[in-house]
Amino acid sequence: MRKFKFGLICFVLLGTAHVCIAQHDWKMERTIGFSCNGSRSAALPKIEKLLISESPSEIGKLIYSENIVEQYFGIFYLKISETKISNIISKTEKERIDELFDLNEKVGFCAGCKRGNQTTLKEIFEGASQHILYSTKDWFNKTLKNAKYGLAD
């Protein structure tokens, strides 16, 4: 019985290690993730600095970035500021967002401790992958709250 338990524990640990290693091989610079195996997306520190700075509207300009994750945050910021603070998205910005949606380029997203999936920007904002928006809203709110109370660095 002890050998069985030991074997079972080894099997579980080796299986978990394989998942963790596979997740680290995944390209974090092309991933929307707030806590992927203890790591954050490569773009998050940049977005965080812009969000808590004097001019968070700079995030909206990221729709012109070459990085798809930064493009996602740019679209997210423009759309959320349009609904929350009545900021009007310009015709040029709308055209750029439509252009990004038409590209159908895939962006990864991390789902906690399992290997994430990939989807398009259009699917995130208009389709079946809208659950990613809830995590982003939560992260934005926590970041702003921490900045307001001096908890962010």
pLDDT at 43 over 80: yes
Determine which of 14-23, 41-50, 72-81, 111-120 has the lowest per-residue pLDDT on average. 14-23
The Cα angle at residue 40 between residues 146 and 68, in degrees rounded to 5: 110
Query: Each residue of 93-150: pLDDT tens digit?
Result: 999 999 999 988 888 887 555 556 788 888 888 887 777 888 888 888 888 777 665 5
> How much is the pLDDT for 115?
55
Calpha distance 68→139 (Å, rounded): 18
pTM, two decimal places: 0.72
